[in-house]
Amino acid sequence: MAELPEPGTLFANKYVIESQLGGGAAGVVLSAMHQELRQRVAIKVLRDAGPVSSERMIREGRATLALQSEHVVRVMDVGRDRGRVFLVMEQLEGADLASVLRQRGPLPIAEGVDYVLQACAGVAEAHARGVVHRDLKPSNLFLTRRADGSPLVKVLDFGISKSPESEQEVEASLTGPAEVLGSPMYMSPEQVRGAKLVDHRTDIWALGVVLFRLVSGKAPFGAGMTVGSALASVVADEPAALREVLPEAPRELEAIVKRCLAKSPDERFATVAELAAALAPFGTDDGRAAVVRLVRDRVAMPATRRRWPLLVVGAVVVVAIPLIALAVLHRGHGVDASIATAIPSATAAPSASPTPTPTPTPTPTPTPTASAIPSPTHRPAPRPHPAGNSSVVRSAATNDRY
- One-letter amino acid for residue 246 of the chain: L
Q: Is 12 within 8 Å of 86 (Cβ atoms)?
A: yes
Point out the residues that are catalytic. Answer: 135
Count other C-beta atoms under 10 Å from residue 251's C-beta: 9
